Amino acid sequence: MRNTRQREVVLEAVRATMEHPTAEWVFRRARRRIPNISLGTVYRNLKQLAEAGLIREIQAGSQALRFDGNLGPHHHVRCVGCGRVNDLEVPLDTRREQAAARAMDFQVLGHHVEVQGLCPACRPGRADRPTSSEGAMSARQRTHE
Ligand SMILES: [Zn+2]
Ligand SMILES: [Zn+2]
């Protein structure tokens, strides 16, 4: 790894939040400590950290890629409107699902459950509902800053 300092700052930014940040969020945070860091550098470091197994990627269709510093087993709830991701505080029992996968002759390597929905800011009838992609962006910033 060429620049350890950049990597450390990026890793700390992801680990310091429960918000499952996007690369742009991490970039804004990392820039406070390394003012000349670029979004490309942040993105590259995030991908390398994910490949190294130090953080997790959360892939969600066309929504921005998000990252999770919490490697322990846990469920997620994701808003299909603004893309925010939160941990679900429920007891985790994955035995049935994993047994079913093993019955299909899969070697189980991991387990991730995601509930999709609309967060309070994105639900119809709410005054602050985002109405465009720009609106969704500002909702994301409201929620995650
Ligand atoms: Zn939302
Ligand atoms: Zn999480």
Q: Of 122, 124, 125, which Cα lies nearest the Cα of 63?
A: 122
Map tokens 């985002």 to a residue: 130
pLDDT band at residue 142 using 50, 70 and 90 as cut-offs: very low
- Ligand 2 center–CA 62 separation, angstroms: 19
Q: What is the pLDDT of residue 37?
A: 96
Mean pLDDT on 115-136: 71
Q: How many distinct helices (H) and strands (E) make up the chain? A: 5, 5
- Ligand 2 center–CA 75 separation, angstroms: 7
Is pLDDT above 90 for 143? no
The alpha carbon of residue 109 and the mean position of all alpha carbons in its chain are separated, in whole angstroms, by 20
pLDDT band at residue 61 using 50, 70 and 90 as cut-offs: confident
Cβ neighbours around 79 below 10 Å, total? 23
- Ligand 1 center–CA 121 separation, angstroms: 5
Mean pLDDT of the chain: 85
Query: Whole-angstrom Cα distance, residue 122 to residue 19?
Result: 17
Mean pLDDT on 83-100: 89
Q: Using an 8 Å Cβ cutoff, are 112 and 77 in contact?
A: no
